[in-house]
Copies of this chain bind each other. A is one copy, B any other.
Amino acid sequence: MSGAPNASIQIDDAGRLRHLITTEGLPRTLIERILDTAETFVPAAGAPPKKVPLLRGKTVFNLFFENSTRTRTTFELAAKRLSADVINMDVAHSSRSKGEDDLDTLYTLEAMGADIFAIRHPENGAAARFAAHAADNVAIINAGDGSHAHPTQALLDVFTIRRHRPDFANLSVAIVGDVSHSRVAHSTIHALRTLGTTDIRVVGPKRFLPDNAESLGVTTTGDIAAGLSGADVVMGLRIQRERIAGDALEGVADYHERFGLTASNLAHAKPDALVMHPGPINRGVEINADIAYGNQSVILEQVRNGIAVRMAVMAIIAGNSNAR
């Protein structure tokens, strides 16, 4: 997917957020508006999450063509805290399914009175296809499509970074793992670039490194010491065990030693570097439990912030829809 069509599809004629499909090409002003709005939804320390009536009377469909109880739950909670009615729909997606079937589902659920869809789909570009065919009053939020994009995860990542390290232009970020297949990494890299970060290093074994590093605007290395050297933020990615288990040269233990977020590997980064991970973690694979729950980690903050960021996206899109 090139950025241009997605970028244009998600912004209305007045330059406001219409859908959220990708962070690629999403203007800095819109990203900052989402982050600023999300700040209002983060509960104060020790306080319960806020419940606000911004989506009262609206219906949010969590339309998941790929099973993800955890991500579905974050959208469900965000929508309920905005007082929306929420419908969870897990839809089987077989290799036989066609894009046309998806559109029939879209049109049918629109006719039931859906206002917002959070869509998880195994195919790259699926969310954009839904957006291209959505009715005027219906918005699509991409909850992850193939290895393409996962924009709400990226926004919660930069939101979490901003709360601790607001000077994006002078930030060094290292992303460790299978960036080549990671929608999270792609979306987070785009968001960081737009916010002004220029020093983004992708670290991992050769076959995990993206082919398009230059156009992404990142540097790549297979050397964890070089990749983490002086980094302000170190982000681990969840590893599909299947991708490394069968590999004779590089089993799980070897991967953990070479690329896992461990005390010895982290020693290469700044002493107060933030440790991040999109979750769920594989202990002893891409991260060590002591690090995951250690005092540099903001992993659970990411989860908490994820609700606030998703509330912000839905509230902004619904507000824009009402204003049209």
Contacts and interface: CB of A to CB of B under 8 A. Distances in A.
Interface of A: 43, 46, 48-49, 51, 57-59, 69-70, 73-74, 76-77, 80-81, 85, 87, 89-91, 100-101, 104-105, 107-113, 115, 137, 279-281, 283, 289, 293, 300-301, 303-304, 306-307
Q: How many copies does the complex hold?
A: 3
A303 B111 contact: yes
Contacts of A80: 85
Contacts of A74: 112
A28 B111 CA distance: 28
A216 B288 CA distance: 42
Given A77-B87, A87-B77, A105-B280, A112 B69 contact: no
Contact of A100 (B85, B110, B283): B283
Contacts of A301: 111
A49 B113 contact: yes
Contacts of A104: 279-281, 283
Nearest to A109: B73
Contacts of A306: 112
A136 to B, nearest CB: 9
A58 B48 contact: yes
Contact of A69 (B58, B70, B91, B101): B91
Q: Kindly name the residue among A46, A73, A115, A306 whose own CB sees the greatest number of chain B CB atoms within 10 A.
A: A73
A57 to B, nearest CB: 6
Contact of A43 (B101, B113, B115): B113
A112 to B, nearest CB: 6
B307 A113 contact: yes
Nearest to A283: B100
Contacts of A300: 107-108, 110-111
A112 B283 contact: no
A304 B113 contact: yes
